[in-house]
Amino acid sequence: MMSIKHYTDPELLEINTLENAIYMAMQNDVSFMIGLRLSLYEHQSTFNPNLPLRYLFYISDLYSGMIDKNKLYGSRKILIPPEFVIFYNGIQDQPDRRILRLSDLYSIRDQHCKLELEAVMLNINLGHNPALMNACTMLHQYAEYTDRVRRYTKTMSLEDAVEHAITECIHEGILKSFLEKNRAEVKNVCIYEYDEEEHIRLERSYAWEDGKKEGLKEGIRKGEKGKTCNLIQKKLEKGKTLSQIADELEDTEENIGRLIEQFHLGIPQ
């Protein structure tokens, strides 16, 4: 547990993850209640500043299904202490601990936020959060496995890197029983996730390139329009008519007239 407490009674734990949740590409989020605290844990391999908003949708749906609607109109308080935790192991550099707030997404910032939700993002890459890693051996071993896959992909194909990391970890007792039991599934999911990360990275790169090209085109269009307006202004100052200007610039009188009106061209009074 995030509180570093140890619970031994399984009856205290109630799993209430939403079925067929649409908030993630893969259903790897966990929601559960232990005692009176409702905890929502999510694993992310890419940084996402919109997670507080997604959590808001998620927690609303959870409570809608958990709470008797008739109690909402009663005089007794309904106790709802939620906890939001993100386990981050992406390649983008992030601190050991970071608070993501719903108010960070506000387009208009008020002195006092009318609605707030805070999620704790914990970096679970190897070498981060040593206290947490020491308290949770399984998490530390997962970080070790992930780190090896990433290191090996620098010199091997993705499939060979995953296979090598799995074999090595089993031999060294890292996630041994889990990897032995689920080897094929782990390999397939790992390859899928890395392919998805690469796809997202490439899509962002393509989008940036497209944006850069479109921006260049727009700049050229604006530059050409500005040049045309300068020519129109000079010709107007020389006393030329709309017809003459259109003929000299090889354009229509309608287009020239539109530019004159749009940019207030003409002889200064």
Q: Please give the average per-residue pLDDT across 39-48, as a whole number.
A: 88
In a domain, residue 246? The reply is no
pLDDT at 7 over 70: no
Place 139 in a pLDDT band, splitting at 50, 70 and 90: very high
- Residues in CB range of 59: below 8 A, 6 or more apart: 38, 40, 82, 84, 117
pLDDT score of 218: 55
In a domain, residue 115? The reply is yes
pLDDT at 206 over 80: no
Place 30 in a pLDDT band, splitting at 50, 70 and 90: low
Q: Please give the average per-residue pLDDT across 142-168, as a whole number.
A: 92
- How far does CA 249 lie from the centroid of its chain? 50
Question: How many folded domains does the chain comprise?
Answer: 1
- How far does CA 103 lie from the centroid of its chain? 16
Place 28 in a pLDDT band, splitting at 50, 70 and 90: very low
Sign of CA dihedral 23, 138, 35, 113: negative
In a domain, residue 12? The reply is yes
Q: Please give the average per-residue pLDDT across 2-15, as a whole number.
A: 48
pLDDT at 226 over 60: yes
In a domain, residue 78? The reply is yes
List phi, psi (to 5°) of 256.
-65, -40
In a domain, residue 77? The reply is yes
CA distance 65 to 145: 37
Q: Please give the average per-residue pLDDT across 156-168, as a whole number.
A: 91
Place 56 in a pLDDT band, splitting at 50, 70 and 90: very high
In a domain, residue 108? The reply is yes
pLDDT at 250 over 70: yes
In a domain, residue 17? The reply is yes
Q: Between 65 and 129, where is the model more confident?
A: 129
pLDDT score of 254: 86
In a domain, residue 256? The reply is no
pLDDT score of 52: 94
Of the chain, the end-to-end C-alpha distance in Å amounts to 77
Judge contact between 242 and 256, C-beta under 8 A: yes
pLDDT at 234 over 60: yes
Q: What percent of the chain has pLDDT over 90?
A: 33
Note down the domain range covering 85: 1-123
